A and B are shown apart, each in its own frame.
Chain A
Amino acid sequence: MFRSKFVLALCLLFSMQNSMAEQQVLKLQNGLTATADYYVSDGKKITALVMHPFLQTSDFSVVANLTETLVDEGFGVLLPTLTLGIDARQQSKDCEAIHTQSFENDQSELEEWADWLKKHTSDRIVLIGHSSGASLIARSLASNPPHKVSTSILISPVHYGHPGGAGMLPEQRAQALKDQESGKADELVQYKISYCDKYTTTRSNYLDITSVDEDTMQTYLDTIKPPIHIVYGSNDESLNASWREKINSGDHTIHEVLEGNHFFSGPSEFDMHDTILDIMNEQ
């Protein structure tokens, strides 16, 4: 463990990447253009598709640093950026921006990238997602079990339902449902969701996102065929006791990183990376 940490530290310190990223542009079925950083595996026949969390891009530190670690270890990585309705999106999207994309759109983009990866590599594919990226992977795997996906690693997976979820205002969801039933499904409304206080989207989109609650997520996790590794920090406040209990009760491997928070800030990031590497190396 100590050795791997030391190696990781050196790698991060001197930024010595053993391979250069190739930016991939994918014309999506919805007409938008999506981009992704693609690292071809070097010696390891495993390529990870790493999905960034809510409203972020591939430049988000958790996934970017993890990608570097994986690439440095010889793993291939495809690190796409969801368009979130914006053509060739390169910037994280503000909460107050107009969010017209649905969870299904995101899932579709993920699956299109997975398909793209299947076409471009013979490596076994490991899906890695952080936070809502993990939730997106869980939903996708639960609904469309892909080929060549040997395993999935869900880092700090979250849900958006009540209680304890990212969308934790039950009365807000109830009001949205009521308004939707009254024919106001496509009006823009600002909701409190995840870390956003004014998440601007339509009621239908809001209801779609917040439909992924604890139970839904548990269902996803129980449905997924490939082995699931769930990694979370012992200090992750986004995972309440109820959600953590449900995670732990499933038939998947749990990896708790001591003193790690939701974003594994500080030294716990190395432990998280070591954990991921261990999982990857076991494949």
Chain B
Amino acid sequence: MNNKKRPASLVEYGLWLILLMLGCFALLSMFHYQQISLQKDQFIQTQKAQARHDIKKSLIALQQNLESITDSYARWEEVRQQLANPGFYQYWRDIRIKGFNFYIDEIVNIELYDTQLNSVSNAPAFLFPTSTTPIEGSHIALEGDVVFLYVHRHVLIPFSNNKKMGSILIKFNVLPALKRLHPVDTVDMDTLEFNISAGYTGSLERLSESVNYEPQVNEKLNTLLKSYTSSIVQLGILVGIIAIVMLGVFTYLIIRPIRLIVSKIHGLTYLNEPQEVNVRFPHRELQDVWDALIRYKNELSSVHQDLNTKNDELWNLAHIDELTRCYNRRAFEEDWGHIINTIAQRRIPVAFILFDCDRFKLLNDTYGHAIGDKVLTETVNKIIMSLRTGDRLYRLGGDEFCTILVDNTAEEAMTIARRCNQELQNIDSASLGINEPVSISIGIASASGTDKINLNELQRQADTAMYYAKRPNNKNIAVYDESMLKDTMTLMNSTLTTKVYNAIVEHEGLNLLYQPIVNIHTGKPEYYEILSRLEADSEMHTPDVFLPIVQDRKLQVEFDLQVIAQIMTALSQEALPKGSGVAINLSGEGVVDDGVIANLMHLKPYLDHYKIIIEVTETSLITKLQYAVKHLNHLRDSGFLVALDDFGSGYSSLSYLTKMPIDIIKFDMSLIHTLRSTNRDAVIIRSLAEMCHKADYQVVAEGIEDQQLLELVKNSGFFTHVQGFHLGRPAREFDIFSEAS
């Protein structure tokens, strides 16, 4: 997991920006609110001072107003009427006075007095205060908790030169009058109260010094503050809404398209998947980005497609063999590695089949590479036809192929191998331009669920089995078993390989043994087949041990030359009695080698005293047949005889036989042993020998191991010579010829 911290998204940035904006707005609003609150406090202090001043002014105005009202009452004609005729005074005082234009509700009582200050009423509301001098004026009185103002005025007689008719005294309730008539805007009139004690004297103006009040809450200021607060809240809401709208717009215009583009870019990873091309974005810039992206994606898809094609081609080049069109070694390595990893430790049987074209090098050298390629291609075609659907055929190199059968046993692999062999027999060699039949050797190895090490052994085991199959007398198909390991070990034996080299280069360790070939008519040895033995570690190794090394190391020619050299030495030393002869085995490579032929020609002087027979196997003659025939004819022309060795162990084609420049046919011991049977096989062998005999070939029966077989050969009447342990084992020349002498 990638622990690298992912950068913040645009939404997060947007939200932080909004929060920052709202925070700044809140701080600014709080600062302004605090400033306004300070101003408000200062304003209230100022207002308090102003309120006291206003109260004073209002009290002065109130006093003037109340005195003016009293003046009006004093001038009211009905007052004079009551002073003159107080018959209905009580009615007038209690009811009628309220009808006067200047009446106010704050008038508590009105009382009229005569010039002697006696009330005109028998039941006055209040007597004229004794403490008050009978002059016009006013005074304050605290009655209970209520402050009253008494205003006294003289009532004058009209047209009497200010002669007094009486007096009027009006009692006002000060506080309600002040509140109603002269309210102070700067004072909360509900809180206004007078703070005086009994006996207080003074004017209303002085009363302003003894008032308790609360300044009027400045509604405008409060309204302004509320309005400001409301405005801040509304502005905050508006800013919030705008921020949210902006975030929405930002999301719609920027984030959503970017996310869409990002998702589309992720989608572009799958270049071959169809993309929604006609995506519409809310603004031109991102639309251009998207269009450019689509163009880029299309170009990338095209490049990717080309790249895929190239990759396929490259893969094919890397994994397909150009000539045979089967999988190559790289493909094999990959598949094999995959298979090993897949089935290791699982109980899944695996069979490994290794195919190798027989004598392909000789065919290639004989008929040329074009023919060799055709042979190889046809061989592959037949093998592939034999395989099942899904089975892969790999070319490991040269003429070596293999296939891997997963979940198949060795028996099932054998079935496929046989099918291959059968198919190959259907190849028309002539159509390929060769005379020899096309054949392959097949090695099979199998394992049933094991570890990688053992699975990796399958290749080597199949290779061992394949080489085992190539050996004469085998059926071209071999399934690996432990016994084959020894042979393989031989090949791997470095000591023996060193001995082979020493024998060829240093002329050490190679010993020639002579096995007599007896004339069946005389019963005496007529010539001797030279058989090679390699001495190593005090042990004599037969050809089946060291010849594979010679073949594996491609030392056939050198080996042949060494054998020829030793024979020449023996002949020059007259180790063999004159009149006898030697049969020299030449490898297929030696037959077609000019050097070998030239060395053989060095033996020509000895032909006067010795019969020298060149033994070749039909297998060795298949490759470069024409060249081989040319050399053999040259040898025959020079006095050498040519023998076809191991006849019957290979193709045994009669037409093939007729083309061979040979003098002697040596029936392989497998054919000779068939004479023991009583069925038609023996008849065929006898008939074959008869046919060869009649064709004027000398016919040699190999593998005579007992008298019975010898008798059978003799009785057939068509063999001219016999050879085998019963007639003489291979031995050194001095052991043979010293006994003979």
Residue of B with least CB distance to A201: B88
The answer on a CB contact under 8 Å between A86 and B81 is yes
The answer on a CB contact under 8 Å between A188 and B77 is no
The answer on a CB contact under 8 Å between B77 and A90 is yes
The answer on a CB contact under 8 Å between B81 and A96 is no
The answer on a CB contact under 8 Å between A97 and B96 is yes
- Is the CB of A9 closer than 8 A to any CB of chain B? no
A188 to B77, CA, bound (A): 19
A97 to B80, CA, bound (A): 12
Residues of A contacting B78 in the complex (Cβ-Cβ under 8 angstroms): 86, 97-98
- Is the CB of B289 closer than 8 A to any CB of chain A? no
A94 to B77, CA, bound (A): 11
**Chain A proximity of B575: nearest CB distance (Å):** 189
- Is the CB of A172 closer than 8 A to any CB of chain B? no
The answer on a CB contact under 8 Å between A87 and B158 is yes
B74-98 interface mask toward A, CB cutoff 8 Å, 1 = contact, 0 = none? 0001101100110110011000100
A35 to B84, CA, bound (A): 17
The answer on a CB contact under 8 Å between A98 and B91 is yes
A96 to B84, CA, bound (A): 18
Which of B78, B80, B157 is the most central at the interface, judged by chain A CB atoms within 10 Å of its CB?
Answer: B78
A87 to B157, CA, bound (A): 8
Residues of A contacting B159 in the complex (Cβ-Cβ under 8 angstroms): 25, 33, 35, 88
Considering only residues 91-139 of chain A, those with a C-beta below 8 Å from chain B are 91, 93-94, 96-98, 100
The answer on a CB contact under 8 Å between A100 and B87 is yes
Residues of B contacting A90 in the complex (Cβ-Cβ under 8 angstroms): 77, 158
A172 to B275, CA, bound (A): 109
Q: Which of B96, B157, B158 contacts A98 (CB 8 A)?
A: B96
Residue of A with least CB distance to B158: A88
The answer on a CB contact under 8 Å between B88 and A86 is no
The answer on a CB contact under 8 Å between B77 and A89 is yes
Residues of B contacting A12 in the complex (Cβ-Cβ under 8 angstroms): none
- Is the CB of A32 closer than 8 A to any CB of chain B? yes
Residue of A with least CB distance to B78: A97
- Is the CB of A85 closer than 8 A to any CB of chain B? yes
**Chain B proximity of A25: nearest CB distance (Å):** 5
- Is the CB of B99 closer than 8 A to any CB of chain A? yes
The answer on a CB contact under 8 Å between A98 and B92 is yes
**Chain B proximity of A126: nearest CB distance (Å):** 28
A86 to B87, CA, bound (A): 13
Residues of B contacting A89 in the complex (Cβ-Cβ under 8 angstroms): 77
A33 to B99, CA, bound (A): 25
The answer on a CB contact under 8 Å between A86 and B99 is no
The answer on a CB contact under 8 Å between A100 and B158 is no
Residue of B with least CB distance to A89: B77
**Chain B residues with a Cβ closer than 8 Å to the other chain, count:** 16
The answer on a CB contact under 8 Å between B91 and A100 is no
Considering only residues 165-179 of chain A, those with a C-beta below 8 Å from chain B are none
Residues of A contacting B81 in the complex (Cβ-Cβ under 8 angstroms): 85-87, 97-98
Residue of B with least CB distance to A187: B88
A32 to B99, CA, bound (A): 24
**Chain A proximity of B348: nearest CB distance (Å):** 130
A41 to B165, CA, bound (A): 36
Residues of B contacting A98 in the complex (Cβ-Cβ under 8 angstroms): 78, 81, 88, 91-92, 96
The answer on a CB contact under 8 Å between A100 and B77 is no
The answer on a CB contact under 8 Å between B158 and A188 is no
A205 to B656, CA, bound (A): 185
The answer on a CB contact under 8 Å between A33 and B158 is yes
The answer to whether A96 and B96 touch (CB under 8 A), given A90-B158, A188-B91, is yes
Residue of A with least CB distance to B84: A87
The answer to whether A188 and B88 touch (CB under 8 A), given A98-B81, A98-B96, is yes
Considering only residues 151-169 of chain B, those with a C-beta below 8 Å from chain A are 157-159, 165
A91 to B92, CA, bound (A): 18
A86 to B159, CA, bound (A): 13
A200 to B99, CA, bound (A): 12
Residues of B contacting A200 in the complex (Cβ-Cβ under 8 angstroms): 96
A88 to B77, CA, bound (A): 8
**Chain A proximity of B542: nearest CB distance (Å):** 170
Residues of B contacting A33 in the complex (Cβ-Cβ under 8 angstroms): 158-159
The answer on a CB contact under 8 Å between A94 and B158 is no
Residue of A with least CB distance to B98: A96
The answer on a CB contact under 8 Å between B85 and A85 is yes
A183 to B84, CA, bound (A): 25
Residue of A with least CB distance to B81: A86
Q: Which of B80, B91, B92, B96 contacts A86 (CB 8 A)?
A: B80
The answer on a CB contact under 8 Å between B99 and A94 is yes
Residues of B contacting A35 in the complex (Cβ-Cβ under 8 angstroms): 158-159
A98 to B159, CA, bound (A): 23
Which of A85, A86, A91, A200 is the most central at the interface, judged by chain B CB atoms within 10 Å of its CB?
Answer: A86
A255 to B77, CA, bound (A): 37
Residues of B contacting A91 in the complex (Cβ-Cβ under 8 angstroms): 77
The answer on a CB contact under 8 Å between A100 and B99 is no
Residues of A contacting B84 in the complex (Cβ-Cβ under 8 angstroms): 31-32, 85-87
**Chain B proximity of A19: nearest CB distance (Å):** 22
The answer on a CB contact under 8 Å between A87 and B91 is no
Residue of B with least CB distance to A32: B84
**Chain B proximity of A26: nearest CB distance (Å):** 10
A90 to B81, CA, bound (A): 12
Q: Which of B80, B92, B96, B99 contacts A87 (CB 8 A)?
A: B80
A89 to B84, CA, bound (A): 12
Residue of A with least CB distance to B91: A188
Considering only residues 42-97 of chain A, those with a C-beta below 8 Å from chain B are 85-91, 93-94, 96-97
A93 to B78, CA, bound (A): 9
A127 to B402, CA, bound (A): 166
Residues of B contacting A188 in the complex (Cβ-Cβ under 8 angstroms): 88, 91
Residues of A contacting B99 in the complex (Cβ-Cβ under 8 angstroms): 94, 96-97
Residues of A contacting B88 in the complex (Cβ-Cβ under 8 angstroms): 98, 100, 188
B52-92 interface mask toward A, CB cutoff 8 Å, 1 = contact, 0 = none? 00000000000000000000000001101100110110011
Residues of A contacting B85 in the complex (Cβ-Cβ under 8 angstroms): 85, 100
Residues of A contacting B158 in the complex (Cβ-Cβ under 8 angstroms): 33, 35, 87-88, 90
Residues of A contacting B80 in the complex (Cβ-Cβ under 8 angstroms): 86-88
Residues of A contacting B92 in the complex (Cβ-Cβ under 8 angstroms): 98
Residues of B contacting A97 in the complex (Cβ-Cβ under 8 angstroms): 78, 81, 96, 99
Residues of A contacting B77 in the complex (Cβ-Cβ under 8 angstroms): 86-87, 89-91, 93
Which of A31, A35, A87, A200 is the most central at the interface, judged by chain B CB atoms within 10 Å of its CB?
Answer: A87
A87 to B165, CA, bound (A): 11
Residues of B contacting A25 in the complex (Cβ-Cβ under 8 angstroms): 159
Task: List 6 additional A-B contacts (Cβ < 8 Å) besides A86-B80, A86-B81, A87-B157.
Answer: A85-B84, A87-B77, A87-B80, A88-B80, A91-B77, A100-B85
Q: Write 27 A-B pairs (CB below 8 A) sorted by A numbering.
A: A31-B84, A32-B84, A33-B159, A35-B158, A85-B81, A85-B84, A86-B77, A86-B78, A86-B80, A87-B81, A87-B84, A87-B157, A87-B158, A87-B165, A90-B77, A91-B77, A94-B99, A96-B96, A96-B99, A97-B78, A97-B81, A98-B78, A98-B91, A98-B96, A100-B88, A188-B91, A200-B96
Q: Which residues of B contact A (CB under 8 A)?
A: 77-78, 80-81, 84-85, 87-88, 91-92, 96, 99, 157-159, 165
Pairs of residues from A and B, 8 with the lowest C-beta to C-beta distance, nearest first: A88-B158, A86-B81, A86-B77, A96-B99, A98-B88, A25-B159, A87-B80, A91-B77
